[in-house]
Amino acid sequence: MSDEKMVQLNIRVPQNLKKIMKEYIELDAHKDLSELTRDALRQKIQRDAPHLYRSLFKENNNDSL
């Protein structure tokens, strides 16, 4: 996914959630808050709306044609 066009999203989270996210990054393989957030969003979409998740990969494959 590193060759995708990236856009910036700004979100607001409670201070204690940000603290927990930073602590989790120290325990996990994510390198920063952005990577953790992207991964969490992908997992939620994959779990709750798998058809939308699959369409993400179809669109990426069509872009490379």
- DSSP class of 64: T
Mean per-residue pLDDT, 1-20: 88
pLDDT tens-digit map of 11-63: 999 999 999 999 999 998 899 999 999 999 999 999 999 999 888 777 666 55
Predicted TM-score of the model (pTM):
0.74
- Close Cβ partners of 37 (under 8 Å, ≥ 6 residues apart): 11, 21
Distance, CA of 15 to CA of 26 (rounded, Å): 17
